[in-house]
Amino acid sequence: MSTPLITTYENTCPARTATGVLRLRGASEPQSIHDGSLTIEPVLVSPNSAFGAEVSGVDWSRPIPPEMVKQVRLAVPEILPFQDKYAVLIFRKTGLDNARHIAFSQQLGDKLEINPFFFGRENDRVGEPLLFDVAKMQQDSSYHQQRSKYSILLSHGNPSVGGSWTHFADTRRAYADLPQAKKDEIEDLIIEHDLWHSRWLASPAIYSNPLPHELAAKPPAYHRLVQVGPDGRKTLYLAAHAKTVLGRSLEDSQKLIWELIDHCTQPQYVFSMEWLSGGDMVWWDNRQSMHRANVYTDQMTARDVRRSTIIDDGALAFGVSEEEKVAAGWTPPLAAGP
């Protein structure tokens, strides 16, 4: 396997404020929005974009009624869908357990991703098929041909000593700010997303040579690089799982992919959420954002966060067709011999 261009990021996080709340980066002082029982505090705000919001006013002690889910998803000024507008929603001290975490996730889509338990369910600390024990800038499950729509990450217990953060990048605003020449270059590109590639990036010694049955169990997925997001704006769909651009070499592909990731992760497109207490929860849209945890250090204690993932059911959920792949330069793999 060739060596890709690997970019590492410094472990930098905003300092906690004196009051212990989220510090906003690259944004003016947010203005609270009130809608029914909900209070919405936008995070990153620019003249033509808003990314991320803290939401309060949800009674998490009871099952969330369908009308509240609809309100959370649809209520905001300009009548734009709420989740679609902000892409990342933060809720504090929800008190949810595994069962209610799953129940809320199931209200947001018909199908949740199943944990494959690669190392056996008996070795998974949580052991729940609909939850992932979670810790690269990434978009969850882009390596599935039917990709994910939302992810919901819930904190259990006390946050880690030494600072526990999750960083989010706005791939919509990042795309909008690209030079027109770059937009023209990438408009029709198709990306191969490969689980084994991202695992290799994380641990080359362990994942340098996946076995044939592993490759067969999780083949690559193919999605367009430039897509139209749920709010109608164009967005970049890529992150650590992105391996090659169809029709380009691995080296040239990785140079372009990491050029775009570096562009998306500039401070003006990124905010960092600190996990302040058990029950903190963040719900984000994988189709128009990237995320990553801060790197662990030996001064930090372990954190306990668990993720559910809601499968996409939209028009772009299944990526591109075989015909589109071939037209972009994809060659079908040779069939295995008898």
DSSP state of 102: H
Residue 292 has φ and ψ, to the nearest 5°, of -160, 155
pTM (two decimals): 0.83
pLDDT at position 203: 62
Question: Strands (DSSP E) along the chain, which ranges?
Answer: 33-35, 38-46, 49-56, 88-91, 132-133, 148-156, 165-170, 190-193, 221-224, 226-228, 234-236, 242-245, 270-274, 281-285, 289-293, 304-311
And the tokens for 159?
Answer: 């946050």
Residue 307 has a pLDDT of 93
pLDDT of 71: 61
So what's the pLDDT on residue 333?
A: 72
Q: What is the pLDDT of residues 245-264, one digit of tens each?
A: 999 999 999 999 999 999 99
pLDDT one-digit tens code per residue, 65-100: 666 666 655 543 332 356 788 999 999 999 999 999
Highest mean pLDDT among 5-19, 101-115, 236-250, 301-315 belongs to: 236-250
Mean pLDDT score of the chain: 79
Is it the case that residue 184 has pLDDT exceeding 80?
yes
When pLDDT is cut at 50, 70 and 90, the band that residue 1 belongs to is: very low
According to the model, what pLDDT value does residue 117 have? 67
Domain layout of the chain by residue ranges: 33-327
What's the confidence (pLDDT) of residue 73? 56
Q: For residue range 141-183, list pLDDT tens digits in order.
A: 676 788 999 999 999 987 766 667 889 999 999 999 999 999 9
Classify domain 33-327 at the CATH topology level.
Answer: Double-stranded beta-helix (3.60.130)
Residues 196-227: pLDDT tens digits?
A: 666 766 666 666 777 676 766 678 999 999 99
pLDDT digits (tens, 9 = 90+) for 13-68: 444 444 434 444 444 455 788 877 788 888 988 888 889 999 888 888 877 666 66
Give me the pLDDT at residue 282, please.
Answer: 94
> What's the whole-number mean pLDDT along residues 302-308?
85
Give the chain's end-to-end CA distance (angstroms, integer): 25
CA distance 9 to 258: 12
Under 8 Å between Cβ of 142 and 241: yes
